[in-house]
Amino acid sequence: MSDNCGAALKRWRETFKATQVEVARAMGITPSVIVDYEKNRRLPGVRFLRRFVDALFHIDSERGWPVTRQLAKMFNLNLGAIIDARDLSTPLTIDDLITAVEGVVVSSHISRTEFYGYTVIDSIGAIVTLSGDQFWQLMGLTSNRALIFTKVTTGRSPMIAIRVAPIKPAVVVLHGPKKVDPMAIRLADKEGIPLILSLKQDISELVAALRGIKASAL
């Protein structure tokens, strides 16, 4: 993270224009704990860092994502295709995901690997608005995460994109198709990525269910 973890934490908190009190409230701890970390009286572990980052994004989301959108422009990312994204401090399993999205596993490969977040993508918006480089950047943001494509017709295009991406998601969920293209299934098996078909009726219901498993996990 940095040779001076406390300074880095403070810098990111100030980048998101959040006070120590706001971050502490979002994390469910006292402001004095944040002070201790920023003054290097305590060294943050992985769990704390995940909760800290999640708190910053939570605060930014309540304000309409102003800082996240600004950072996206700096890194040439188009957030228009992202419907929802969450980072979790407690890992989820494939079974958690299958239950939440009312999923059916269509690939022959099923992994019990835990993952720490998910990204819900408008597949049509991604194709229309994202360049190839931007789509690869999106893939890079989903390492050890579930990548969930909505408005999918057959599933072939998302899996082809994942096939050529340098970094792969832990699991892929398709929402929309009545039947998954056999090529999409073959590509998932070739990459060793579990492929799940969600039977949720609409996108809002899907997103609500995903947010529900976040709440129960934390």
- 5-69 and 75-217: same fold? no
Q: Can you give the pLDDT of all 218 residues of the chain as single tens digits?
A: 445 788 889 988 999 999 999 999 999 999 999 999 999 999 998 888 888 988 888 888 888 888 877 776 655 555 567 888 887 767 888 999 999 999 999 998 777 678 888 889 888 766 655 555 555 555 555 567 889 999 998 998 888 888 877 678 889 999 999 899 999 999 999 989 999 999 999 999 999 999 888 544 44
**Domain 75-217 CATH (choose: 3.40.1390.20, 2.40.110.10, 3.30.70.1710, 3.30.460.80):** 3.40.1390.20
**Domain 5-69 grouped into CATH 2.60.120.260:** no
CA 86, 119, 140: angle at the middle one, nearest 5? 110
Classify 197 as helix, strand or coil. strand
**Which residues lie below 8 Å from residue 118, measured CB to CB, with a gap of 6+?**
84, 85, 86, 97, 145, 146, 147, 148, 210
